[in-house]
Amino acid sequence: MSRNTLDAYGAFDLNLLADVRLFVDPFLLFNSAKPEYQALHEDIIKYLRFLRSIASDDLPDAVVKDLFRFQEVKQNWFGYCELGNEGHGLGQDFAIAMRQALGRALSNFGEETGTKGSHLEKVSLIRPRVGKDNISDFTTNLIKNYLVDYTEKFARDHLHPSRCANVGVRRVRFNYKTRSWVDEVRYLPMFNGDYVLLTPVDMLVHDDVWINYSDMVAQYPQIVAGVDDDVQRSRVDAYFQQQLADTVNPSTKQVTAARQQTLAFFPWLLDTYIKMREDDGDGAIAVSDSEIEQITAVFVTLFSNFVDNFWSLPGMAERPKATSLEEVRHRTQIFKHWVEDQGGHLSLNDARQRASEKDVQRLVFLTLKASAFDVNSEVNNGRGPVDFKVSRGASDTTLLEIKLASNSHLRRNLEKQVDIYKKANDTNNAVTMVIYYDALERAKLDRACSQLGIEEGPDLVFVNARLDDKPSGSKA
User: Which tens digit of pLDDT belongs to each residue from 4-30?
Assistant: 888 889 888 776 655 566 788 888 888
Of 75, 74, 304, nearest to 188 by C-alpha is 75
Domain boundary among 210, 233, 250: 210
Ranges of residues in the chain with a pLDDT under 70 are: 1, 15-21, 79-94, 96-97, 100-115, 117, 120, 123-132, 206-207, 286-288, 290-320, 350-352, 366-367, 369-371, 378-386, 416-427, 471-476
On whether residue 421 sits in a domain, the answer given is: yes
Residues 206 and 216 both lie in one domain = no
**Is 364:356 a contact under the CB 8 Å cutoff?**
no
Residues 16 and 67 both lie in one domain = yes
- Residue 400, beta-bridge partner list: 388, 431
Of 133, 121, 132, 59, nearest to 96 by C-alpha is 59
Residues 81 and 30 both lie in one domain = yes
CA–CA separation, 111 vs 275, rounded Å? 14
Residues 108 and 206 both lie in one domain = yes
Domain boundary among 238, 259, 280: 280
Residues 260 and 388 both lie in one domain = no
Of 211, 212, 272, nearest to 236 by C-alpha is 272
On whether residue 358 sits in a domain, the answer given is: yes
Residues 124 and 171 both lie in one domain = yes
Residues 50 and 178 both lie in one domain = yes
Domain boundary among 280, 300, 324: 280
Total number of domains constituting the chain: 3
**Is 84:18 a contact under the CB 8 Å cutoff?**
yes
Residues 109 and 171 both lie in one domain = yes
Of 41, 79, 38, 47, nearest to 173 by C-alpha is 47
Write the DSSP symbol of residue 28.
H
DSSP string, 81-95: -SSBS----S-HHHH
Residues 219 and 206 both lie in one domain = no
Residues 256 and 374 both lie in one domain = no
CA dihedral 196, 202, 205, 209 (to 10 degrees): -110
The pLDDT score that the predictor gives to residue 442 is: 95
Residues 7 and 109 both lie in one domain = yes
C-alpha distances in angstroms, 337 versus 79, 222, 462? 31, 56, 11
Whole domain around residue 179: which residue ranges?
Answer: 3-210
Residues 219 and 272 both lie in one domain = yes
